[in-house]
Chain A
Amino acid sequence: MEKVLVAMQDPDMGMKMRNQRLLITVIPHAMTGHDIITWLIQKYHICEEEALHLGEMLVKYGYIYPLREPRCLVLRPDESPYRFQTPYFWTSTRWPASELDYAIYMAKKNIRKQGELMEYEKERYSLLHKRINHTWDFVVMQAREQLRASKQRRKADRIVLECQEQAYWLINRPTPTTTKIETSRRALGRNRVKSSVCLEGFVKYSEQYQSHDPIMQGCLPSNPWISDDIAYWTMNSEIVPVPTRLRVERWSFSFMELLSDAMGRREFMTYLEKEFSAENLHFWQACEEIRHGESSKIVEKVEDVYKNFLAPGAARWVNIDSKTMDKTLEGIKQPHRFVMDDAQMHIYFLMKKDSYPRYLKSDLYKNMLAKAVVPQETKKSVFPFMRRQRHSSPSPAQAGAPAAEEDGRAGTNSAAGSHF
């Protein structure tokens, strides 16, 4: 880049610099944006777009700076004046932009015109103030000195120097790694739980589920993978007339367990109907559908939900607090996938804290538990190596058609040692 600049500044072949007028003072050795572009096009035989781009890069990196709008680092191909940055300030000379210098610069600005600092500069200023508090006196002193010295220069020079400095700092301000600070700040703000408490949580969870874990404790009647007997799966399929005891027990572990089991949900629904609060569960289910369903149907689903559950005087009106209700109604005007989230959460926690514990204590649940079956462990067959016929379960893609019986032994008849 610097080669370009040197070429530009070449007195013979370079840019024609004129004295430009900036308001009342005359700035020597300035050029217009337009001139920059035409020169680039001529010298390098490039098209206008490229020249503009190249010119912009030069400005961005601080080799050329605008005089009229010093903050806006854009190359304008018109009569706005620009000037070359002194080599002292070139980025390549890698003069480390120390915080101290930045502080001095900002202090100068502050003194010169109170309140002229921009937002981010104010922030930075106060940050630096906190950080290098011990040398703050030095900073202020330096600032004052520099100001006094500059007052003795001609106005034109002064403006030039100011612009130079401003441009430099605009580009090279020491960035105090804002993103890192943000994440650290966020991390500090997070509520943490003691790990001993968390580990206790794990122990409790594992203990609770241990009897339900087939690998840990074996499953009754038998693990189908070992015995080839799919009784375990048929007993635990989606809807059975009588569920197993373990399954019913699991419903008492957490509300989520109850809701994720189809039978559990059905039972809970019957209970809620008795309590005349079934609309809560219906509402929750409708919201789940909105959240996970097809995007194209969101609008009509939201409409439905509003009509059935939220509109005043609706058939299945759900009891939500007014703040959430207002927020939801606002959101419905522009329906999106998560518009029902707040209301759904409210109802979910309502059910969890209120209806769910009562359900667990209710007769309905207790009867279910008593009725529930504890399957017998199948007797181990005399010939352990006899392989039963394995049937494939109905593939979900079939949507209802009965599964074809497939003989699982097909591949093994030729094998040695598999049958006794």
Chain B
Amino acid sequence: MATKSCAWTGARTRGESSVPHRSGFFLLLCRFYLLPILKPVLYSLLFSCLLKEWISQFLNVCCLLMQDGKVIVWDAFTTNKEHAVTMPCTWVMACAYAPSGCAVACGGLDNKCSVYPLSLDKNENLAAKKKSVAMHTNYLSACSFTNSDMQILTSSGDGTCALWDVESGQLLQSFHGHAADVLCLDLAPSETGNTFVSGGCDKKANVWDMRSGQCIQSFETHESDINSVRYYPSGDAFASGSDDATCRLYDLRADREVAIYSKESIIFGVSSVDFSLSGRLLFGGYNDYTINVWDVLKGTRVSILFGHENRVSTLRVSPDGTAFCTGSWDHTLRV
């Protein structure tokens, strides 16, 4: 596929032979290859694809949502739609997959986060079984299940993040400290599993303790809204992507920014970032329709991927690290 072969050229220069030499060859033909597969997708996506997430153990399924109010779970490998849920609100901005794979949570301009149990019975009306879990006073920008199906962490345009109990819909903890909309959040992969980082329109990235609700650390070096934050796989650092066209790496133990990934030729903002499995590569989806791959340790750009015809709105690496998926306003998802 067009994007994939570009990703592998980077590996090839290091002397690894796993990339078929047909990669260049592949490039041309793959564009045709790709489109037929996604063409059915193209028609069914009425609006741009906004967000998606991989599910952990079942490696080839990913869930995505779109701005026309539908949440669809795809099998990314076979490109089949597995489930589809229509939300009453047409503008969905956040979605999350439960760790067990049995439920999906989503929310958006309706200020709520709803959890839908998934079932394979095609006749069942999934929308009827929804459970409204979170209530904010402004739009929901991101949500994520914590280590279990029972708790959800949400962030909202009202400047707060909150932790909810799914069963009872009760608010367990709320996190105040951002001066503007909170746009993104990510949970730490640490041993104790008690912290998360959130980034907002006030250019700050805050690290919070889930138990006490306190802001432990705060980083304010970006020059514009932070669109996306992601923890480094070891949990000691996190990267953030912002509208100021840079991605930055912040170290939690040193308590400062340690790297900036930017280039003069890049002037469009970053919408989404993610690390590869080893943390060596940082993928960033940009509003100029490209994906830039950075070497985390050297701070240099490894490669640039083309293929989307509109802005890349979201990007995620699969949990086993074998591939990453990007979604864009050109109504397609590419792996």
Binding site for B on A (CB under 8 A): 183, 187, 190, 192-195, 197-199, 201-203, 205-206, 208-210, 212-219, 223-226, 230, 232-233, 236, 238, 255-256, 288, 291-296, 337-338, 341, 345, 348, 377, 380, 384-385, 390-399, 401, 406, 408, 411-412, 414-418
Contact = CB atoms under 8 A, between A and B. Distances in A.
Contacts of A411: 36-37, 39-40, 79
B233 A205 contact: yes
Residue among A194, A203, A208, A418 with most chain B CB within 10 A: A418
A263 to B, nearest CB: 12
A395 B82 contact: yes
A397 B168 contact: no
A213 B320 CA distance: 8
Nearest to B252: A198
B46 interface: no
A365 B296 CA distance: 33
A292 B150 contact: yes
Nearest to B100: A396
SS of B interface (majority): loop
Contact of B80 (A236, A394, A406): A406
Given A201-B234, A205-B233, A390 B77 contact: yes
Contact of A217 (B11, B83, B317, B324): B11
A218 B16 contact: yes
Contact of B29 (A295, A385, A395): A385
B129 interface: no
A417 B80 contact: no
A195 B18 CA distance: 35
A209 B278 contact: yes
B78 A215 contact: no
Contact of B120 (A192, A288, A395, A412): A395
Interface in B68-82: 75, 77-80, 82
Given A393-B77, A395-B120, A397-B101, A416 B32 contact: yes
A391 to B, nearest CB: 7
A214 B80 contact: no
Interface string B12-24: 0000101110100
B143 to A, nearest CB: 17
B296 A202 contact: yes
Nearest to A408: B78
Sorted nearest first, the 6 A-B pairs with minimum C-beta distance are: A396-B101, A415-B36, A218-B18, A292-B148, A209-B278, A213-B278
Contacts of B78: 390-392, 406, 408
Interface stretch (B52-60, B195-203, B264-272, B304-312): B52-60
A240 B39 CA distance: 37
A383 B37 CA distance: 20
Given A205-B234, A217-B16, A384-B22, A195 B120 contact: no
A206 B279 contact: yes
A291 B146 CA distance: 11
Contact of B236 (A198, A203, A219, A293): A198
A259 to B, nearest CB: 9
Residue among A233, A238, A395, A401 with most chain B CB within 10 A: A395
Contacts of B324: 215
Contact of B277 (A209, A338, A341): A209
B135 to A, nearest CB: 17
B277 A214 contact: yes
Interface of B: 4, 7, 11, 16, 18-20, 22, 26, 29, 32-33, 35-37, 39-40, 55, 57-61, 75, 77-80, 82-83, 100-102, 117-120, 146-148, 150-151, 165, 167-168, 170, 172, 191-192, 211, 217-218, 232-234, 236-237, 251, 253-256, 258, 276-281, 296-297, 317, 320-324, 335
A340 to B, nearest CB: 13
A379 to B, nearest CB: 12
Residue among B82, B278, B321 with most chain A CB within 10 A: B278
Nearest to B118: A397
B297 to A, nearest CB: 6
A199 B258 contact: yes
Contacts of A214: 277, 320-323
Nearest to B75: A392
Contacts of B147: 288, 291-292
Nearest to A214: B322
10 contacts: A193-B253, A199-B297, A205-B232, A210-B278, A213-B280, A214-B277, A215-B322, A295-B168, A392-B75, A396-B58
Contacts of B22: 384
A216 B168 contact: no
B29 A417 contact: yes
Contact of A194 (B20, B254, B321): B254
B296 A396 contact: no
Contacts of A194: 254
B36 A418 contact: yes
B256 to A, nearest CB: 6
Nearest to B18: A218
Contacts of A345: 192
Nearest to A389: B78
B335 A225 contact: yes
Contacts of B151: 292
A98 B258 CA distance: 41
Nearest to B166: A294
A93 to B, nearest CB: 31
A393 B61 contact: yes
Contact of B20 (A197, A202, A380): A380
B250 to A, nearest CB: 10
A216 B102 contact: no
Contacts of A232: 322
